[in-house]
Structure formats: C-alpha cells, structure tokens
Structure 1
Amino acid sequence: MIVTCQRDSLLNACQIVSAAVPSRTPMPVYQSIKAIAEADSLTLLATDLDVGIRYELRGLLIEEPGQAIWPVSRLISILRETSDSEVRLDSDSRRTHVHTSASDYEMPVEDPASFADFAEKTDDQYFEMAAGDLQRMIRRTVFAAARDEGKYAMRGVLWDMEEKLTRLVATDGKRLAVATLPSVAQNMTELKAQSHNVSIKAMQLLERILADGDAGQPVQVTLRTNDAIFRTDKAVIYSRLVEGNFPPYRTVIPKKHNARIPVITGEFLSAVRQAAIMTDDESKRITFAFTPGKVTLEAQGSTTGKSKVVMKLPDFPGPAITISFDPAYLTEYLRVLDGAEVIQLDLVDGQKSAVFRNGEDYLYLVVPLV
C-alpha cells in the first residue's frame, strides 16, 4: 500500500482514532491502527474490541491500494514533528515506511489480516439526529458518568428512549445529568420505549467527531440489544453496551422546591472558582449561604487558609438556605454551558439534592455535602 496524505488531515484522523486504542491488551496488534487504501480514500480503524471506530479521509493520492497496520503512537509523533505539508507512507505486511522531505522512518508492523474489523450491519433500522444537537447533549452529560471501577453500570451514558423523545442520562451516584431532545427525525417504523447504556469511551469519541463537523449534518443512530452504532459523514463508531442495571434516576429528582434562584452561568462559575482557591484535598467543600439578594461562598482548607466571595442575586427574594457542595461538581457542570446563559437553581433545604435547570431540556442534580 502506498499513499500520500496531507499531514494535518492525517494527524487529526490519527489522533481521533487513537482514542479507541487500548492502553493494555494481550493482542499487540490492537495497539496499532489498521489502514485501508482504495480509490482516492483512506479508512483508518481502531478498536479495543468493545469500542471501535472507522474514520475516512477522502481525496488522497493512492498510488497502490491495500491494507496495512500502522503503529499509531509513533506515527503521531512523526506527524507532529515534521513541517512538511504532505507525507508519503509505503506499507506491506511486515514494514511501514514514512517519508518526508528531510527524513525517512521504518517501523516493523504486524499482518493486517490479524486485525479484525468490528461488527456492523447496514440493514438495521435507525433514527437520525442533527450532529450539533447530539454533540451538545453528550457534552452536557458524559462528564457526570462514573469513572470508578466498582460502579460499572454507571460507567456509561444511558440512552433512555421514548416514542418521540431522546434522553441522555449520566450519573456517578453523587450527581446526575439529564439532557433531552423533544423529537428526532426517525427512519424507523416505530421507536419503542427502551434504554441502552453506551460506554463513556464511545460517547467521548463521538462527541469529538461531532465537534469537528457540520452541526447540521445528520447522525444515524442504531441501538440494538447488545450494541450501538453511530454513523456520521466521515466516521462509524461501534460500541458494546455497558452491562448491569442503570440506577432508577427519576426517583432521586426532587418533586418540589422551597427556593428557586436564577443565576448567570459565567458569574456563578467565577464565584465558585474564586472560593475554591482555598480548598485542599482534605476539605473539598464550599458552603453557599443564600439570603435575599445575594449568596456568600465560603471555603477553608486545613493548611491553605480561607476564602469568602459574595455574589449579588437581585432576583432572589428568599428564603435563606445554607448548603455545601464539592466545587468540582459545580465547575464541571458550569463549564459546559454558555457563560451568558441564565440557569435556575432549585433548593429544598441544605440536606437534599440541588437541581439546576436549563429550560425543559437539561437538568443537573448535585448531592450536597452534609
């Protein structure tokens, strides 16, 4: 296989697909990527056998079609260091050569036949979502998913489907993010109520691809019993579903509130970050004292000192409520929003979960520190 590529395009593609490459595996071939050259296109594949991606580059000069295995981490390093606008790659079943104007690299590789493609069917029913809508929903939920090994069922984003509604849900047990899209353009005879738990890795990979593309382009979503497939104009992402029972998230959302507080996202984020300066590893806590017209944020570290920040709330008449949070759970949420956006904070008291709302389409719940 011999192919000439634009350096920037190839580097970007390699960086994207490398997210699916496992850090450890008993099969070394999967720590590389598979390249398939045909006509004027190059398709890059990567998988850890649970999550896989197929990413296509078009309009390339293909001197000799074929397949090859490319050591992706070293190839990325080569592409980062060269100043050439184009690179030429010459591969067979044993070696890959990378040629630039000033350097040549030779890397031993494995047989491309030993790299199995991930499963995909093209005749499944699917529904479509606009890329921009889906990217925003993923960004607003995936950060809240659990990272701990012991919370396996929470290490994914739940696709909670209803007839004309798509809802993405993520939680780690201490916070909950729920993003909703009122309707989807369906290519299905019927979209039944169902739930599918898709891995964090697949969702982060899809979000990155969507962020680089046209927000108006459709994304085809196929949800099956054991896996999910997402198709964009340039890529196909495959993911096995996360096993286990996702928590019954609806039951933890408070049905009432005693205080409803409108805040401007950017101002609130700034106040939280200022107060958090004096927190440390032993005291990850900010106490929020909401009183009519203002909120006072206070934090104190065991050795760092203490902070006090006052933020005006001209539209909050009361009642007074004092509540404490881990500042990381607030900053991670506030960073995914537009700084000028006005959000609504619903509080019951200082002991029960707080709920932030962005209209009817986005809800973020945080359990307080007591």
Structure 2
Amino acid sequence: MKIRFNRLALQEALSFVAGIIPARAAKPVLQCIKISADEQGVSISGTDLEIGIRHIVSQAQTDRPGSSVVPASKVSAIVRESIDEVLEFEADESELHIRGSDSHFNIYTHDVEQYPDAIEDEGDSDMAVSLSILQQGISQTLFATAKENTKYALHGVLWEISEEYINLVGTDGRRLARKIVELDTPMPENHIGKRLILPVKAVSLVQKIVTEQNSLIGVSYNEKKVTFSCGDVLITSNLVEGNFPRYQDIIPKDNDKMIKVNTDATLSAVKRASLLTTDESRGIKVSIGDGVMVFSSRAPEMGDAQVDMPVDYSGEPLAVGFDPDFILDALKVVKQAQIQIELGKPDRAVLFRCSDTFIYIVMPVEV
C-alpha cells in the first residue's frame, strides 16, 4: 500500500474515526484503525465492536492499493503534529512508513485479517432526512438521556417511525424531550410504527458529521443494527436492546396554567438565580404571581439570590422547584424566541412547549 494524503483531509477523517477507538482494550488490535486503498478510493475505518465507522478521504492519491492496521492514537498524533501539506503512507507486511518533508515515522502494524469488520454497507436506505434537521432533532433530545447505564434502554434515543416523520424521544426518568423530525420522502407502509432505540454514542456521531449544506442522510436498519450514510461517512451501530418506557403517560394533559416567556430572558434568569447554589442546595424556586416570575435560590452556607422577570400572567399564584441544570439544558437548544410553560399542581410535571415540534417535560424538586 502506498498513498499520498492531503494532511488536513486525513486529519479530519482520523479525528472522526478515532473518537470511537477505546483507550484500553483486551486485544491491542481493537485500539487500531484500518487504512484501505482500493478501486473505490481511500478510507479510514474503526470500531469498538458496538459501532463501526468508515470515512472516505477524498483528497488522497493511491500509488499502490492495499490495507494496513495501525494504532489509532499514534497515527493521529503524527498527523496532528505534522507541518507538511502532504504526507506519504507506505506499508509492507509488518510496518507502516509515514514520510513528510523532514520526517520519517516507522510504525509496526497488526495483521489485517485479525481486524474486526463492523461496517455493513447499507444498500438502499430505508429513509432519507435532511442532515441539518436530524442534527437539530438530536441536539434537542440527546441532552435528556440517562448518563448512567442503570436502565440501559434509557441510555439511548427512541425513534418512532411514522409515514412522514420520526418522533425522537430522550429521557432519564426525571425529564423527557420529544422532537418531531420530518422525513424527506414518505415511509413505506411496512416501516410505519417501527420503534428503534439508538445508542447515545451513535447519535452523537451523527451530530458531528460535517458535509455540504442541504445534504441528506440515508438511514437503513434491521432488528439489530442501524446504518447511517452521508457524504464520505458511513456509520453502523448496534441498536439498544430493551423496552423504552411508555413516555406518552408522562406528558401532562391537564396543566391549566400557561405562561409565554422570552427564551433568552428565562435562560439568563435561571443562570443568575443558580449562581449561589451548591451541591447540597442545588434547586431553584420559581414563583409565579400577578405579572411576575421570580427565580430564587438559598444556600445556608452561601447566601440568597433572586431574579425577577415580568410575565403576562394574572392567574392563581404558584411556586415550583427545579434543578436549574435541567432547565438550562433545554433552553440552550431552543431555536424559538418564545416558549410556553404549562403548569399544574406544584408536585406535577411541568411542560415546556418549545415549538410545534419540540416539547420538554421536567419533574419538580423540593427546595
């Protein structure tokens, strides 16, 4: 194998693929990437056995086809620190030579036959969706997923497939975000009603894809795997096993107190009210009265904070406690200038209607 790479294009591909390579592994070959050159082009691929990535490097010239398996961290570091515009990679049976204008690195390689192939070509995609719209949907649901693996099905994003859209749902049991993502083409009848749970790591990778504006991403799936194809990137991932909770039961139906608020003003008020909170006194209190919403916090060892925000409200006074991080996480990904907050009893879930396609539900806390 002998390839000449544009260094910046290679660095971009390496950065994307190396992100899933484990720092520690039972077998050293799992800490490697595979560099391949054939009639289809030059690609970098990697896997952690749950997810596989193949990234085409378009700015590369193949002088001799072949493959090489090398430690991801070492190759990434060499390419990152290089000052050359072009790097030459030449491999034989046991070594990879990386040459620049003033440098020569010789890396011992691994057996190509021992490298696991986790990439599955998707064939025809089952669905197509705007990459930018899907990435926005991911950003508006991913933050609400569980950070621990106590309930494995919650450590993923639910996809509910309808004829013309997908429901994306993320929850950790204390909050829930749902986003409706429109499809570019209608789904066939045999796919309508399908439910997939995608791992957090897989949808995070989709969020990082950078390509041309107005690009579509193709998605194909079966009972165990899902594959994303967009531009130079192909991602294959196992699906999360288990049952996602009946999230529809969590969405409040009878919250009768509704307040429209400015998104940026509310974000600022929550940030300021939480400045004096501590790990022991983490919550903030939101009190709603005639024409005003008051954000306050109190920490015995720190002090008090209060922020007043005018609102159009003349109903019954109400006070609710929140974890400020749960509110900030949602407000940071809202695109609309205004949102509607829907409240009921103080101990009931509060609904943030962030747009026609994005809702967020959060449970109150004691303060």
TM (normalized to structure 2)? 0.94
Give the share of equivalent positions with the same residue, in percent.
30
- Residue 3 of structure 2 is matched in structure 1 by 3
Q: Post-superposition shift, 1:207?
A: 0.9
Instruction: Provide closer, same or farther for how the CA distance between residues 109 and 358 of structure 1 changes in structure 2, counting only shifts above 3 A.
Output: same
1:131–1:214 Cα contact (<8 Å) kept: no
Partner residue of 2:216 out of 210, 215, 218: 218
Instruction: Provide closer, same or farther for how the CA distance between residues 300 and 114 of structure 1 changes in structure 2, counting only shifts above 3 A.
Output: same
Q: Post-superposition shift, 1:243?
A: 1.0
Q: Post-superposition shift, 1:303?
A: 2.7
> Secondary structure, in 3 states, of the residue corresponding to 1:333?
helix
- Residue 134 of structure 1 is matched in structure 2 by 134
1:133–1:215 Cα contact (<8 Å) kept: no
- Residue 356 of structure 1 is matched in structure 2 by 352
- Residue 42 of structure 2 is matched in structure 1 by 42
State the Cα deviation string for residues 252-309 of structure 1 (Å, max 9, x = none).
1100212111122222111111112111111221111122322111122343332211
Q: How does 1:221-370 map to 2 (within 5 A)?
A: 221-313=219-311, 315-338=312-335, 341-370=337-366
Q: How does 1:102-251 map to 2 (within 5 A)?
A: 102-123=102-123, 126-186=126-186, 188=188, 190-209=190-209, 212-251=210-249
Q: CA RMSD in A?
A: 1.9
Unaligned runs of 5+ in 1: none
181-190 or 329-338, larger mean C-alpha shift:
181-190
Q: Post-superposition shift, 1:324?
A: 1.0
1:130–1:219 Cα contact (<8 Å) kept: yes
Residues of 1 paired with 2:266 and 2:272: CA distance?
Answer: 10
Q: Post-superposition shift, 1:64?
A: 1.7
Residues of 1 paired with 2:68 and 2:59: CA distance?
Answer: 19
153-162 or 90-99, larger mean C-alpha shift:
90-99
Instruction: Provide closer, same or farther for how the CA distance between residues 354 and 132 of structure 1 changes in structure 2, counting only shifts above 3 A.
Output: same
Aligned residue type for 2:340: Q
State the Cα deviation string for residues 200-241 of structure 1 (Å, max 9, x = none).
0000001111xx223411111112111111111211111111
Instruction: Provide closer, same or farther for how the CA distance between residues 40 and 127 of structure 1 changes in structure 2, counting only shifts above 3 A.
Output: closer
Aligned residue type for 2:88: R
Instruction: Provide closer, same or farther for how the CA distance between residues 216 and 330 of structure 1 changes in structure 2, counting only shifts above 3 A.
Output: same
- Residue 17 of structure 1 is matched in structure 2 by 17
Residues of 2 paired with 1:94 and 1:332: CA distance?
Answer: 49
Aligned residue type for 2:341: L
> Secondary structure, in 3 states, of the residue corresponding to 1:13?
helix
1:126–1:186 Cα contact (<8 Å) kept: no
Q: Post-superposition shift, 1:39?
A: 4.7
Residues of 2 paired with 1:288 and 1:10: CA distance?
Answer: 50
State the Cα deviation string for residues 174-215 of structure 1 (Å, max 9, x = none).
110101024441464643211010100000001111xx2234
352-361 or 188-197, larger mean C-alpha shift:
188-197
Instruction: Provide closer, same or farther for how the CA distance between residues 279 and 93 of structure 1 changes in structure 2, counting only shifts above 3 A.
Output: farther
Aligned residue type for 2:304: K
State the Cα deviation string for residues 11-58 of structure 1 (Å, max 9, x = none).
121111122212332222121111112358321111111111111111
> Secondary structure, in 3 states, of the residue corresponding to 1:303?
coil
> Secondary structure, in 3 states, of the residue corresponding to 1:207?
helix
271-280 or 82-91, larger mean C-alpha shift:
82-91
Residues of 2 paired with 1:79 and 1:352: CA distance?
Answer: 54
Unaligned runs of 5+ in 2: none
93-102 or 59-68, larger mean C-alpha shift:
93-102
Instruction: Provide closer, same or farther for how the CA distance between residues 58 and 325 of structure 1 changes in structure 2, counting only shifts above 3 A.
Output: same
State the Cα deviation string for residues 67-124 of structure 1 (Å, max 9, x = none).
1113222222223322322222222342222222333222222112211222525446
118-127 or 297-306, larger mean C-alpha shift:
118-127
2:129–2:182 Cα contact (<8 Å) kept: no
> Secondary structure, in 3 states, of the residue corresponding to 1:58?
coil
